[in-house]
Amino acid sequence: MKQAFFASTAFALLLTACVTKPETTSGIKPPVAEKVADTLTGNRIDNYYWMRLSDEQKNADQKDEQTQKVINYLNAENDYLKASMKQTEALQEKLYNEIVGRIKQTDESVPYKDNGYWYYTRYEEGKEYPIYCRKKGTLEATEEVLLNVNELAKGHDYYSIAGLSVSEDNNLLAYAEDSVSRRRYTIYIKDLRTGKLVEEPVPNTEGEVTWANDNKTYFYTRKDSVTLRSRWVIRHKIGTPYKTDPVVSEETDETFYTGIYKTKSKKFLIIWAGSTLTNYYQVLDANTPEGKFKEFSPRERGLEYSIDHFGDKFYVVTNLDAQNFRLMETPVTHTAKANWKEKIAHRKDTLLQGIEIFKDYLVLSERANANTLMRVIDQRSGKKHYLDFGEAAYTTYPSINIDFDTELLRYGYTSLATPNSTYDYNMRTQERTLLKQQEVVGGYNPADFITERQWATADDGTLIPMSIVYKKGIQKNSNNPTLLYGYGSYGSSMSPTFSSTRLSLLNRGFVYAIAHIRGGQEMGRQWYEDGKMFKKKNTFTDFIDCAEYLIDEKYTTPQHLFASGGSAGGLLMGAVVNMRPDLFKGVIAAVPFVDVVTTMLDESIPLTTGEFDEWGNPKNPESYMYMLEYSPYDQVKPQAYPNMLVTTGFHDSQVQYWEPAKWVAKLRELKTDNNTLLLRTNMETGHGGTTGRFKVYRETAQEYAFLLDLAGIKD
């Protein structure tokens, strides 16, 4: 069957333009990319730089020769993947059906009340997209459909809605759509009284709309059309052409992004600007949208903070003399840093992530020992208490809390074994009410699974936390297929959360583990500092140490151990397989950031300039050499590599498709093994992959089939 497939005339013609087809031991012929030597900065030779296309080339109706050459290569890789995984097609179909079969198709979110209406989202059986609704006054009122995304998405291979925002008089709905997957959203305004769109749509925006209190003015953020950086905050008045909209703020520093929001009190409009290490704000009374925004405090490199308003003061969560952040307050009339007064002190062992403000209560979101915490403070009595969750590894977070004058905190809770749950918590009586828990169709019992928090020891003695889940009855006898996941960048913490999809692995005997490696903030701000810039290699060695722990503790062996990570976690995968390919049977690298040096040298690529404080600026010789030492693409060498599945999206704006495509081509050229190496390019999507409630699981089923096939699990 496989040989017959590759004998097809169409496939042979597809390859002719750019690839040859050497035999492998299986008889399947993988694409081999043409080598065209380009000399890059530092006298690096890149044989696959030709794969890079501009947006204009990708989107042109008539494809030029270079564009067609690249598309042919990517299509050849997709065909090779399909042929290589043909023996798993039945398994893929079974996985897809069981994954989708666990989803409650007719479902509805927990309603929340805002400005006299109850808002909620619901899904209908067989439909891919949500339906946004509201009811006036009570939940018994007639339903009003704000947007049926299923209707809007018709005719689109990719469709995403963002930024739903209703004016204060409840009459106008702003929303934004992206049908290309390039994160360039077009804003629409719908009159909810007539159901009709009003005005011409506004293109090339970040997708978020913030209404002023006059019900006729809104603000949005326009993107730089080349770098896609959010650069301009724009004011628009209903009834005027968007092309005449005035710019109220431009962020000229190319390392910063900007945007705008309204405070929970609805009293102030806040323009924000931020880079990796610095925040800056401007403030305006939301009742006077044509007024001039006032600087909150002068911009200061290294000063990070967030602000929210209550009464006659602003609350400020800041790292000012506080690595793990502390809470300050300042009068509305005097907001500069010199006026900030401490309300809650810094703690060395606990990271303050954010606050939720109520009339009589303050809720702190904290993080310590790799878990999220929630602390409630009675602002009248000063009494404090933590919510108790009773599991070793879990995730909790404030949900939608719009009302100030309430004793009820709405929060979410989940763990590797506990489905996503929404609670109302009475901050006075400390009673909690479960409003909804994610239903797993077909039945699910959390007691059938064991969750653990384990600690691996790094070479420098640092303890690295891991969250682990597996089905009861599994023995630590080294025979368990195990999937180790990691990220470790940008201070993003990988919290342990439930996945009904993951049950397809757990029910087949897999152990699943999250390595909370340095580069996130699971253990506080220092955890991030110790995994970035000139300490970035800690991220990779921590992951390796976690893998070795799982082997040493007899969860698994290298013959049964798999790894996965996406985006910056894909960089992690690339670095790890260069450093310790012997540890893993197979690896999935999703939208991987692997061509670190070349990308960070090119300031025209989206995200580059804003990330110099994360990775370093390779124009600095010391940064260049350090990045070069771990950049996965640059460090590919003649050695045996694990079985690998690499994924990307042709329209990805965050990690351009050519990074994984080049990486796979170079791996094919240099690797010394006969292991499987596959590249999947979704030609319709970008960084986030496929849209739709069910379509996405086709790709998940393929990834799981890749793992299960390697693990020798055929059903």
- At residue 22 the predicted structure's pLDDT band, cuts being 50, 70 and 90, is very low
pLDDT above 80 (res 367): yes
Cα–Cα distance between 663 and 645 in angstroms, integer? 12
pLDDT above 70 (res 45): yes
Which token pair is 520?
């996130």
Asked if residue 576 belongs to a domain, the reply is yes
Give pLDDT tens digits for 436-449. 999 999 999 999 99
pLDDT for position 706 = 98
Cα 450 to Cα 412, 417, 506, 513: the distances in Å are 21, 7, 11, 12
pLDDT for position 61 = 84
- When pLDDT is averaged across residues 574-593 and rounded to a whole number, the result is 97
Measuring CA to CA, which residue among 440, 393, 434 is closest to residue 412?
434
Give pLDDT tens digits for 437-488. 999 999 999 999 999 999 999 999 999 999 999 999 999 999 999 999 999 9
pLDDT above 70 (res 17): no
Cα–Cα distance between 308 and 60 in angstroms, integer? 45
- When pLDDT is averaged across residues 45-59 and rounded to a whole number, the result is 91
Q: Do 294 and 317 contact (CB within 8 A), yes or no? A: no
Cα–Cα distance between 92 and 183 in angstroms, integer? 30
pLDDT above 60 (res 530): yes
Find residue 255's DSSP bridge partners. Answer: none
Asked if residue 611 belongs to a domain, the reply is yes
**Torsion over CA: 527, 228, 597, 590 (sign):** positive
Q: What stretch of H or E contains 41? A: none
- When pLDDT is averaged across residues 281-285 and rounded to a whole number, the result is 98
Give pLDDT tens digits for 64-111. 999 999 999 999 999 999 999 999 999 999 999 999 999 998 899 999
Give pLDDT tens digits for 212-260. 999 999 999 999 888 888 999 999 999 999 999 999 999 999 889 999 9
- When pLDDT is averaged across residues 527-534 and rounded to a whole number, the result is 97
Q: Which residues contact 514 (CB under 8 A, 6 or more apart)?
A: 466, 467, 468, 484, 485, 486, 494, 496
pLDDT above 50 (res 573): yes
Asked if residue 706 belongs to a domain, the reply is yes
pLDDT for position 27 = 67
pLDDT above 90 (res 364): yes
User: CA dihedral in degrees (154, 160, 166, 171; nearest 10)?
Assistant: -10
Q: Do 133 and 122 contact (CB within 8 A), yes or no? A: yes
- When pLDDT is averaged across residues 155-177 and rounded to a whole number, the result is 93
How much is the mean pLDDT over the chain? 92
Using a CB cutoff of 8 Å and minimum separation of 24, what contacts does 231-240 make? Answer: 231/258, 232/258, 233/258, 233/259, 233/260, 233/271, 235/289, 235/290, 236/202, 238/172, 238/189, 238/198, 238/199, 239/199
- When pLDDT is averaged across residues 702-715 and rounded to a whole number, the result is 96
Q: What stretch of H or E contains 408? A: strand 408-414
The catalytic site residues sit at 567, 652, 687
Asked if residue 240 belongs to a domain, the reply is no
Asked if residue 133 belongs to a domain, the reply is no
Backbone angles phi, psi at 213, to 5 degrees: -85, 0
More confident residue, 149 or 19: 149
How many folded domains does the chain comprise? 1
CATH of the domain at 628: 3.40.50.1820
Find residue 177's DSSP bridge partners. Answer: 161, 186
pLDDT for position 28 = 80
Number of Cβ atoms within 10 Å of the Cβ of 396: 20
Cα–Cα distance between 474 and 468 in angstroms, integer? 13
Q: Tokens 């990330």 belong to which residue?
A: 611
- When pLDDT is averaged across residues 127-146 and rounded to a whole number, the result is 95
- When pLDDT is averaged across residues 135-149 and rounded to a whole number, the result is 96
SS (H, E, C) 226-278: CCCCEEEEEEEECCCCHHHCCEEEECCCCCCEEEEEECCCCCEEEEEEECCCC
Measuring CA to CA, which residue among 538, 544, 553 is closest to residue 577?
544
b/e code 230-241 from CB counts within 10 Å (16+ = b):
bbbbbbbbeeee
Cα–Cα distance between 309 and 250 in angstroms, integer? 24
Domain span at 572? 447-710
pLDDT for position 20 = 38
pLDDT above 60 (res 186): yes
pLDDT above 50 (res 25): no
- At residue 190 the predicted structure's pLDDT band, cuts being 50, 70 and 90, is very high
Cα–Cα distance between 258 and 131 in angstroms, integer? 30
Burial class (CB in 10 A: 0-12, 13-18, 19+), 445: exposed
Q: Where are the beta strands (DSSP E) in 152-216?
A: 160-166, 172-178, 185-191, 196-211
pLDDT above 60 (res 44): yes
Asked if residue 182 belongs to a domain, the reply is no
pLDDT for position 179 = 85
More confident residue, 106 or 525: 525
C-alpha gyration radius of the chain: 26
- When pLDDT is averaged across residues 503-523 and rounded to a whole number, the result is 98
pLDDT for position 14 = 33
Cα 639 to Cα 244, 579, 593, 633, 701: the distances in Å are 59, 10, 21, 14, 30
The 3-state DSSP class for residue 11 equals helix
pLDDT for position 663 = 98
Asked if residue 326 belongs to a domain, the reply is no
User: Is this prediction's pTM over 0.85?
Assistant: yes
The count of C-alpha atoms lying within 13 angstroms of the C-alpha of 667, restricted to the half-sphere facing its C-beta, is: 30
Q: What stretch of H or E contains 563? A: strand 561-566
Return the percentage of the chain with pLDDT > 70, whole number. Answer: 95
Asked if residue 130 belongs to a domain, the reply is no
pLDDT above 50 (res 7): no
More confident residue, 480 or 157: 480
Give pLDDT tens digits for 379-401. 999 999 999 998 889 999 999 99
pLDDT above 70 (res 135): yes
